[in-house]
Structure 1
Amino acid sequence: MSKASFMEVKAEGDVIRRNQLTRLRQLGDAGIVAEIGQVDYRFDPEQDYVVVDIETTGSWSNGDRITEIGAVKVRNHQVVDEWHSLLNPQRSIPAKIVQLTGITNEMVRDAPLFAEVADSFMQFMADGIFVAHNVSFDYGFLSYEFERIGRRFRFPKLGTCAGMRRRYPGHKSYGLGKLCEIYGISLDNHHRALCDARASAQLLNLINQKRSEERYIGEAA
């Protein structure tokens, strides 16, 4: 009889949470082999990467809501499509968030609810890899929004902040604004979703360029 085992798979940009470590320990105590596996995506030029940025009413995904989603689809280093929508968060946007993003309560009052754009966004995601600068933040909010309408949101994900740290080390800050400044990437409307998604897409291209070089060196060795 084969022995049961369990593996928690983590991709680049994923965070190992405390409850996941607790679960792995519990499985180990029960005599089940439990470990963490790291996945390193190889660059596939035909793979779609959907680079997403969201704006929200605050930082808590289980209490705050999304006010804007911007998404850019990248294939073979080229932007092939874009998706954008303001959303009615069904709650007031705090003044400090209005100041940060420029998104006002008036702007979202007549915007669609998340449930009304969910199908369109899922169609845009298709079979893409979900990419965001701080991927746990954006992915977590979208997962909660889909959970609220009784749907699952499950995609492989990649973080450009973690990817830049790994492949372009040595910078004091890996915030989106600072990286755009360093690498000459346009960020004229920072903290608006589509602008930030476009900038993150350019960081993704820098990361994928390095991954392509690594693959070429590996194949030539």
Structure 2
Amino acid sequence: MDFVSLDFETANFKRNSACSIALTVVRKNQVVDEFYSLINPQVPFNQRNIQIHGIRPEDVSNAPTFAELWPHISPLFAPNKLIAAHNATFDCSVLKNTLASYNIASPQFLVLDTLKTSRSYFRNFENHKLNTVCAQLKIQLQNHHNALDDSLACANILLYQLKKFGVNDISRFIKSIQ
């Protein structure tokens, strides 16, 4: 299966405040590429968010804005491309709202939420947070809330599920985002 896993970290509680992004590219069930960037969100940071991910305003002061990054990563979000995220509702909302804040049209793509697949497949887990699922499946997650580590962990969760349950069963979780 080919897909891209996505993870954002945000500067504050608003969904248009992306301060980092990571993409893990999977082709034929193999991780073939990774992308990570800090983002200058051009909005204030919230102390709680800083405590979660450790990214500070001074870390992003010279980083590109999302509008500057978008031309480089937008081909990964083309129609019929599959994007996976753990809690895709959050990450897709960050993408949509961040694009809207720059008056950039939001693309259509397919999405699979590994939070939802994990809830369905692993009902006996204590919870279905990314770090819990990784621990239960023995998937490495070194720096939780580092977008690149989280993106790779999400990709590995989906790869685990594909191997265990098959692409036909997983496909019932895929939906189109607009």
Shift of 1:57: 1.8
- For 1:205, the equivalent position in structure 2 comes to 159
> In 2, distance between residues paired with 1:49 and 1:69?
16
Residue pair 2:77, 2:107 contacting (<8 A) in 1 also: no
Task: Tell me the SS of whatever aligns to 1:143.
Answer: helix
Query: Number of residue pairs matched?
Result: 167
- For 1:181, the equivalent position in structure 2 comes to 135
- For 1:68, the equivalent position in structure 2 comes to 20
TM-score (norm 1): 0.71
What letter matches 1:93 in structure 2?
Answer: F
Residue of structure 2 aligned with 1:145, choices 98, 117, 124: 98
> In 1, distance between residues paired with 2:45 and 2:124?
37
Residue pair 1:58, 1:97 contacting (<8 A) in 2 also: yes
Shift of 1:150: 2.9
Q: Give the alignment of 1:68-87 within 5 angstroms.
A: 68-87=20-39
Instruction: Write out per-residue CA displacement over residues 96-130 of structure 1, whole angstroms, 9 at most, x where no aligned residue.
Output: 21111011111101100110001111123445201
Instruction: Write out per-residue CA displacement over residues 162-213 of structure 1, whole angstroms, 9 at most, x where no aligned residue.
Output: 0111122211200001111111111111101001000111101122123328
Q: Give the alignment of 1:94-109 within 5 angstroms.
A: 94-109=46-61
Q: Give the alignment of 1:1-221 within 5 angstroms.
A: 45=1, 48-61=2-15, 64-126=16-78, 127-148=80-101, 149-212=103-166
> In 2, distance between residues paired with 1:108 and 1:203?
29
Q: CA RMSD in A?
A: 1.7
> In 2, distance between residues paired with 1:122 and 1:81?
15
Residue pair 2:13, 2:46 contacting (<8 A) in 1 also: no
Q: Unaligned regions of 5+ residues in structure 2, if any?
A: 170-178
> In 2, distance between residues paired with 1:78 and 1:169?
27
The structure whose Rg is larger is: 1
Instruction: Write out per-residue CA displacement over residues 136-161 of structure 1, whole angstroms, 9 at most, x where no aligned residue.
Output: 10001101122232312211111001
Residue pair 2:19, 2:60 contacting (<8 A) in 1 also: yes
Task: Tell me the SS of whatever aligns to 1:50.
Answer: strand
Residue pair 1:146, 1:153 contacting (<8 A) in 2 also: no
Task: Tell me the SS of whatever aligns to 1:74.
Answer: strand
What letter matches 2:99 in structure 1?
Answer: F
Residue pair 1:53, 1:132 contacting (<8 A) in 2 also: yes
> In 1, distance between residues paired with 2:97 and 2:168?
36
Instruction: Write out per-residue CA displacement over residues 26-65 of structure 1, whole angstroms, 9 at most, x where no aligned residue.
Output: xxxxxxxxxxxxxxxxxxx3xx21100000023332xx41
> In 1, distance between residues paired with 2:100 and 2:50?
26
